[in-house]
Structure 1
Amino acid sequence: MTSTVTLTTQNQTSFVEWRRATWQDYVGYRDNLASEQYRLFFHQGYLLITEMGWEGINHATICDLFTAILYVWFSLHPDQVASSIGRCLLEKSQNTAGAPDLVLYLGDDYPRWQAGQPRRVDLSQWRIPDLVGEISDTILASDLDEKKQLYAALGIPEYWVIDVRGSRVFVFVLQDGKYQLTDTSEALKELPVDLLEQTIAKLETDSNISAAQWFSQQVMELKV
């Protein structure tokens, strides 16, 4: 972890690096910052707050592409029940919190919000997701280090890091408490990582909708 640099705009603060903090510090920011403008991460006494602002074109394009990829995959595997709740805050009280770009639950026991409840996933009430992912445009090093440690500590079985600038996809599976790099997703069984990277590469000439359609054709061929 590194020291922090703070930016203050309109009486609100974001951290461009992880900083030392207590759980109470995290709760204070969580309850006072606008959830649609900031993403919060807390682990082992360190806090990261990233200001979302207006999403860059590349980040938005790939984020929507991967949401479409999940839709395509499960539309072609209708026997599998799944729920996608990307960017929702996951929280393990007094310990760890994070808001991944991708959050995937497999099965029908996924979190459901009820009136009067906080707008986050309390992991003391709901099980951990089966897969989380980060669309990494500007903070790849943190996604491959601190956030990887955070999600491993939560026990999330699979973690994806999508490198926007490098058009790469890193897929990690949890083994003995640590993430190990793999070339095939376990959550999306038999899905090769290189197919995800080929789909991203299509964005050089095609839209993300066209890339998702191309992905759909490739997955159908995998099933044959």
Structure 2
Amino acid sequence: MSKLQTKIPINTWVVASWDEYIQAIEEPQLEKAKGYYYNGQLRIEMSPVGSDHASDHAIMIFAVTLFATIKGIPLNGQDNCTLRKTGVQESQPDVSYYIGENADVIPSETSIINLDQCPPPDLVIEIANTSLSDDIGQKRLLYEDLGVAEYWVVDVVNIRIIAFTITSAGGSQRITESQVLPGLAISVLVEALERSRQENQSLVGAWLLSQFQQ
């Protein structure tokens, strides 16, 4: 662990044991960082501070919750919550959701979702500004192995959403409409993000409401 204690590289995958990963994320200076562990490697990401990243994050949470509310789909979301398979894998996605029959599966006051005891989320969303290649690469493999049902990557720079459904065999394929939120077209979410570059979020929200009520 000596090398990691000297300087923990940021925004890159580093070979490490599980114990070294836990020690790394418990460093006081990394209190606000996001941690990932997969395939014997750790990755530490510092929280983005850009306005577009933060805005896209907020709009995605609002849009998914609004759609589920209007359509009567049970749903509970987690913002930057830790998903852990002890000794094997860990992630802190920007947003994750338990949907339908899984909506109430996570007890209140849970600090870390233990995937040895709980099912994985139905939907995971990563907001990618500088981390796009990793989000559609190594992290996608991580979420395939965790067994999430659906994975979206929001490309902040190019204003697009790359959405995947994950099969029971562990692979993934691109989708244009959500499978876990039936009827939700990815293109509508993309247009909401595009509108947010010119309009305030109240106007974007009113537009989403009109789309979801059709």
TM value normalised by structure 1: 0.86
Read off the aligned partner of 1:163 and give its amino acid letter: D
Task: Name 1:95's counterpart in structure 2.
Answer: 88
Match of 2:185 among 187, 192, 195: 192
Task: Name 2:43's counterpart in structure 1.
Answer: 48
Describe how 1:1-224 pairs up with structure 2 within 5 A: 13-33=8-28, 36-52=31-47, 55-78=49-72, 80-106=73-99, 107=101, 108-114=103-109, 119-175=111-167, 176-221=169-214
Where 1:105 maps in the other structure, the secondary structure is strand
Change in 2 beyond 3 A, CA 1:72/1:110? same
Q: Is the 8 A contact 1:40 1:47 kept in 2?
A: yes
Q: Is the 8 A contact 1:65 1:209 kept in 2?
A: no
In structure 2, how many angstroms separate the alpha carbons of the residues matched to 1:94 and 1:100? Answer: 18
In structure 1, how many angstroms separate the alpha carbons of the residues matched to 2:30 and 2:114? Answer: 16
Change in 2 beyond 3 A, CA 1:7/1:205? farther
Read off the aligned partner of 1:70 and give its amino acid letter: V
Once the 2 structures are TM-superposed, how far is the Cα of residue 123 of structure 1 from its aligned partner?
A: 0.7
Where 1:74 maps in the other structure, the secondary structure is helix
The sequence identity of aligned pairs, in percent, is 24
Name the structure with the higher helix share. Answer: 2
Where 2:213 maps in the other structure, the secondary structure is helix
Read off the aligned partner of 1:158 and give its amino acid letter: E
5+ residue gaps, structure 1, are 1-5
Where 2:212 maps in the other structure, the secondary structure is helix
Over the residues paired in the alignment, what is the CA RMSD in angstroms?
2.1
Q: Residue by residue, what CA displacement relative to the aligned partner does 1:54-101 show, whole Å, maximum 9, x if unpaired?
A: 6211111010001111221122022x2110002101001111100001
Read off the aligned partner of 1:177 and give its amino acid letter: G
Once the 2 structures are TM-superposed, how far is the Cα of residue 14 of structure 1 from its aligned partner?
A: 4.8
Q: Is the 8 A contact 2:65 2:75 kept in 1?
A: no
Read off the aligned partner of 1:157 and give its amino acid letter: A
In structure 2, how many angstroms separate the alpha carbons of the residues matched to 1:152 and 1:211? Answer: 32
Q: Is the 8 A contact 2:165 2:173 kept in 1?
A: yes
5+ residue gaps, structure 2, are none
Once the 2 structures are TM-superposed, how far is the Cα of residue 33 of structure 1 from its aligned partner?
A: 4.2
Where 1:184 maps in the other structure, the secondary structure is coil
Q: Is the 8 A contact 1:167 1:197 kept in 2?
A: yes
In structure 1, how many angstroms separate the alpha carbons of the residues matched to 2:78 and 2:105? Answer: 10
In structure 2, how many angstroms separate the alpha carbons of the residues matched to 1:142 and 1:209? Answer: 32
In structure 2, how many angstroms separate the alpha carbons of the residues matched to 1:209 and 1:36? Answer: 32
TM value normalised by structure 2: 0.90
Where 2:163 maps in the other structure, the secondary structure is strand
Once the 2 structures are TM-superposed, how far is the Cα of residue 42 of structure 1 from its aligned partner?
A: 0.5
Number of equivalent positions: 209
